[in-house]
Structure formats: structure tokens, C-alpha cells
């Protein structure tokens, strides 16, 4: 079940408890932060409840190798590039073939990279 499909159930349960929800903030940590950022930037316009902000901790928003220094992907060797492709491809659910930092690569990782969905209409963000 996608998050937008589960929100009406959450609202209904909250109403039973006496809470009226007419707007929301979304958050998460680590992978949950990545998902919260994606929802806030990519899916907020179709959310059954208006998203007013997103906050999260230690969540990846980008899948460029240079942003993943903790795994050594910033070293840009054949070995680290292969490891980055494997890890990011697993997250994206597909084999990544395009050259890093190209429009083709951005298209391959768009579904998992919140950074690529930020625009002038994006909700405020608090990140740690």
C-alpha cells in the first residue's frame, strides 16, 4: 500500500479519537527520511492531506557518488563506481547504466533521489 493510500485510514482513525487532521508534516530517519523527502517533494501535490513541511535525520536525498563519502564512493575508482552502481541500483530496483552526473543518470535515479524533485513549490524542510 502506498503512503497516499494509507493516509485516509490514518485520518479516519484520528477522527475516531477526536483529532481533526487537515494538514500534515511528514518525517523519518535514514531510509524513512529519504521516503519522507520523496513524498514531500514529489507526491505532496496529490496527497489527500496538504503537506506543510518535512523533517528528517540522516536520510539520503542524493545518489551522486561524491555525496556518499562514508562508503568511499567519492574516490571515483572503477571499484568504487561499480559498488555505487550496485548499491544505488538495488535501491532504485534496476540496473544503472548511465554515466554518473549526466541527465541520463539523473533519469535513472529520479524515483529515489529527493534532491531531483526540489523546486520553487517544495515545502519547507528541516534536516539533521
Residues 55 and 86 in one domain: no
Domain count within the chain: 2
Question: Which pLDDT tens digits describe the chain residue by residue (128 residues)?
Answer: 677 788 889 999 999 999 999 999 999 999 999 999 999 999 998 999 999 999 999 989 999 999 999 999 999 899 999 999 999 999 999 999 999 999 999 999 999 999 999 999 999 999 99
- Give the pLDDT score at 5: 83
- Give the pLDDT score at 1: 62
Residues 75 and 102 in one domain: yes
Residues 94 and 121 in one domain: no
Residues 104 and 67 in one domain: yes
Residues 70 and 103 in one domain: yes
Give CB contacts under 8 A, 24+ apart, made by 113-122: 113/61, 113/62, 113/63, 114/34, 114/37, 114/38, 114/40, 114/41, 114/42, 114/61, 114/62, 115/61, 115/62, 117/38, 117/41, 117/42, 118/41, 119/41, 121/45, 122/40, 122/41
Residues 53 and 77 in one domain: no
Domain membership of residue 1 as a residue range: 1-60+117-128
Residues 69 and 124 in one domain: no
Residues 22 and 43 in one domain: yes
Amino acid at each position: 500500500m502506498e503512503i497516499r493510500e494509507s493516509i485516509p485510514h490514518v485520518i479516519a482513525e484520528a477522527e475516531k479519537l477526536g483529532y481533526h487532521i487537515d494538514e500534515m508534516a511528514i518525517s523519518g530517519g535514514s531510509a524513512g527520511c529519504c521516503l519522507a523527502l520523496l513524498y514531500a517533494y514529489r507526491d505532496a501535490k496529490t496527497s489527500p492531506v496538504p503537506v506543510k513541511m518535512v523533517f528528517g535525520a540522516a536520510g539520503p536525498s542524493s545518489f551522486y557518488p561524491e555525496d556518499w563519502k562514508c562508503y568511499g564512493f567519492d574516490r571515483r575508482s572503477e571499484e568504487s563506481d561499480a559498488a555505487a552502481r550496485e548499491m544505488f541500483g538495488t535501491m532504485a530496483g534496476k540496473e544503472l547504466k548511465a554515466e554518473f552526473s549526466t541527465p541520463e543518470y539523473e533519469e535513472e535515479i529520479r524515483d529515489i533521489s529527493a534532491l531531483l524533485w526540489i523546486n520553487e513549490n517544495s515545502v519547507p524542510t528541516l534536516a539533521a
